[in-house]
Amino acid sequence: MTKPFADLRVVELAGSHAGAFAAKMFADYGARVVKVVPADGDPLLHHGELLPQHALGAREVGSIWAFANTSKLILAGEAESEEVGALIAGADVVIESSAPDPLVPVTNALDAPGLVRVLISPFGLSGPWAERRSNVFTDDAASGHMYLNGEPGRQPFRRHGRHTEYSGGMYGFIGAMAALIARESSGRGQTVEVAQLEAMVAMHQHTTTMWTHAGHVLKREGNSQPGIWHPAGVYECGDGFVFLSHATGAKLEPFLQAAGLGHLLEDPRFATNESRGVNKRAFDEALRPWLMSHTSAEICDLGEATFSPLGPVWDTHEFLADPHMAAREFFVPLDESRGSELIPRGPFRLGADYSGGNPRPPSMVEPEELAGWGASAPAGSGESDLADGPLSGLRVLDLTRVWAGPIAGRLLGDLGADVVHIESPWNRGPLEAPEGLAELTHLYPDNELGDRHWNRNGGFNKLACNKRGVSIDLSGEPGQQLFRELLAASDVVLENYSPRVFPQWGLDWESLQGINPSIIHTSMPGYGAHGPGANRVALGPVIEAATGMTMMSGYADSIPYRSGVAWPDPVSGMSAVAGTLVALWQRLASGGEGQRVETAMIESMGTFAGDELLSAQVVGQPPPRRGNREQGVAPQGVYRCLGDDRWLAISITSDNEWQALCEIVELPGEWSSWELWEREARHDQIDALLSIWSRAIAPSHAASRLQAGGVLAAALADARDLLESEHLASREFWAEVSSSDVGALRYPGCPVRLSETPGTYRRGAPGLGEHNREVLAEYVGKSEAEVSALAEAGVIADRPPSMEELLKPRI
């Protein structure tokens, strides 16, 4: 019998925020977690890039540290000690991490067959960059994310927060849960390795795909989204800013008509998605007078009334005061005995009441208080076939669209699940494709649509690897009944519909259980299924703007800027997988009882923004836009290098690093004695000389020289750099698979590496309806004649409808 989640025992050896976050997920959702802190203190309090201690008092520093360590028992001890070794030997999971320094594991020689070891580091334990140092700033640069933020003619800027480490931590948690689930079958533990670089590269949307498919390097485009999708950015309005994300005319037209601006679509420059994509500036100028005459609240109210993907660009304090989040009780006290600061409840919710995590203040513990600590012996037989990965045999119905949901399904598939992607016949667009679509999007091989363009879109195909494809018209009762039959034969249903859709189909939780008492239902509504804002239309950039992250992003002299990558989408995808695996564990522990999981995008992103939200409360005001600069770190910036749009990121977090930088760059000798406050005061002067030095050197060469001297530095990678990375190649990160009508191409691989049950790349993306017959026969026993009848009736399909067919009413 699988032990309850609350009985899991986890040891965290104090290291980086990535390891702390992985352990926090275990602790906040009920597992017993002991964090071992060495005599000289938690490294999180020592790394200069983590806390501007010179600007905060002891209580404030303690509050920020506590956020990363909620619900944990803190034990003073040395990782190599016999006492801690016994603690680890009796645990289910041990988590080791390090940043900015490379990780040197201390549990390599530990003989504990059932133990799951999680190792998280900046670049992984092998490869040419394994010994490099990195923090969140240089992680963002090396992974290709920073390159996409900002104006084409200016330096790129960073994404705020601890996102690179939290991503590594969440993937570590996912890997640990997958390994524990595998242990229930095999009886053996294993090692899980996560490199933060790989985690971040896996979380791009179109960046690498545009290069592998069309040889196109995606570049930043200010407050617009590159490509044909417009408007999709930050816009100034009468009293602040709003984020408009009307990427297609179908979403834009109702909003413009309601605003009295329908005539704009009569202009040939704005009439189609493609024409707006090449006339972005003119469209924005036409829209600006109306926006400036309305407040953010008025625009957002109109957006909600027309089901438009738009929202406010809030600062941290406005997000904390959002009535919707209050109604959902998302923010909870960090420590009521010490102050009034609030923190996020967690990225996913579980159970009949969707209660979510329960973060509590950390507490010190003495060794004698851990008497009776110890994991029960693994019960697996060792005979299960886990050849496809730790989730081999798990059946997942993936009904998701766009990005957040599909990346969740892709990750479950990479880990071995049989993921069946169910999509409507028109999900990939109509039979006809607009002229020039391939050249405008760069998402089709060789910039050619081909004979069956619906099977050739790289944006879809990247996320559909390791899935089988079934195309069902779910708009009518026959398709919904067929879906119910598939549901009865599955383990998990994953969907990111509006909260209204499943109930409209008669599939509330009680109905789902009536069909399949063991089903795990993972829903991914943008704002959650309840609360006054539940019906807001959500896309990743709109969510990011609501959490306060967009408001602090941009140049110090600018308005807020959108991120080059819609970060909440992959964050929500990871969170959905994490919640699904916890629910799967609870199902095992309960003997097969079905489970509910809700991953609201706003809560996933809110959790990842937790440290910034807490810091703003501690300081008492929202953080200002500072570009690439950061309090307590100096110099820190992005410097132009030799070549076209080539840049170098440097982050100095200690006096030793500063002295090494002075020597390598040959800065004036007297500068090497400058302390932090002097470097902050003279940042412009330092930047001027660093820019002179960097202009004459290639960024990769500069980064190598600086790293050799112990300086945190990284070349800003673009798509080509990532695909040609010697480090990623040596670690065999890329997955090369063949898809229908495309052939073999490389896609990002799985950042979760398991030593005994590794993930696999079994198939490329399916063609539309490619596995209709196969899946319907295998899952629900449909005969050839029955499948043919479904196809004849239009319930299933293997090609999209024409525009004429789409416009016909469906009965």
pLDDT tens column, 675-731:
999 999 999 999 999 999 999 999 999 999 999 999 999 999 999 999 999 999 999
What's the pLDDT score for residue 592?
Answer: 94
pLDDT tens column, 121-174:
999 999 999 999 999 999 999 999 999 999 998 999 999 889 999 999 999 999
C-alpha to C-alpha distance for 425 and 800, rounded to whole angstroms: 5
The better pLDDT of the pair 658, 40 is held by 658
From residue 561, alpha-carbon distances to 152, 296, 544, 550, 699 in Å are 13, 16, 11, 6, 25
pLDDT tens column, 468-488:
999 999 999 999 999 999 999
What's the pLDDT score for residue 60?
Answer: 52
pLDDT tens column, 733-769:
999 999 989 999 999 999 999 999 999 999 999 999 9
% the chain with pLDDT above 90: 85
What's the pLDDT score for residue 688?
Answer: 97
C-alpha to C-alpha distance for 88 and 76, rounded to whole angstroms: 14
> Mean pLDDT throughout 519-547?
94
Q: Look at the pTM and tell me if it is higher than 0.85.
A: yes
> Mean pLDDT throughout 272-297?
94
Work out the pLDDT band at 55, boundaries 50, 70, 90.
very low
What's the pLDDT score for residue 808?
Answer: 76
Contacts of 121 (CB under 8 A, 6+ apart): 97, 98, 99, 102, 103, 130, 194, 195, 196
Contact 27, 10 (CB under 8 A): yes
Bridge partners, residue 651, by sequence: 636, 712
> Mean pLDDT throughout 268-281?
92
Q: What is the CA radius of gyration of the chain?
A: 26
Q: Is residue 811 pLDDT above 80, yes or no?
A: no
Q: Is residue 290 pLDDT above 90, yes or no?
A: yes
C-alpha to C-alpha distance for 70 and 362, rounded to whole angstroms: 5
pLDDT tens column, 476-522:
999 999 999 999 999 999 999 999 899 999 999 999 999 999 999 99
What's the pLDDT score for residue 382?
Answer: 65
Reduced to 3 states (helix: H, G, I; strand: E, B; else coil), residue 475 is coil
Work out the pLDDT band at 180, boundaries 50, 70, 90.
very high
Q: Is residue 56 pLDDT above 50, yes or no?
A: no
Work out the pLDDT band at 62, boundaries 50, 70, 90.
low
C-alpha to C-alpha distance for 85 and 158, rounded to whole angstroms: 40
Q: Is residue 576 pLDDT above 80, yes or no?
A: yes
Contacts of 12 (CB under 8 A, 6+ apart): 19, 20, 22, 23, 33, 34, 35, 36, 72, 94, 95
pLDDT tens column, 219-260:
999 999 888 889 999 999 999 999 999 988 888 999 999 999
| Phi, psi of 35, rounded to the nearest 5 degrees | -100, 125
pLDDT tens column, 451-467:
999 999 999 999 999 99
> Mean pLDDT throughout 293-316?
95
What's the pLDDT score for residue 50?
Answer: 38
C-alpha to C-alpha distance for 400 and 523, rounded to whole angstroms: 9
Burial 621-649 (b: 16+ CB within 10 A, else e): ebbebbbbbbbbbbbbbbbebeeebbbbb
- Tally DSSP H helices, then E strands, for the chain: 32, 25
Q: Is residue 46 pLDDT above 80, yes or no?
A: no
What's the pLDDT score for residue 57?
Answer: 47
Q: Is residue 51 pLDDT above 50, yes or no?
A: no
Residue type, 17: H
Which of 52-66, 386-400, 551-565 has the lowest average pLDDT? Answer: 52-66
What's the pLDDT score for residue 110?
Answer: 76
What's the pLDDT score for residue 61?
Answer: 57
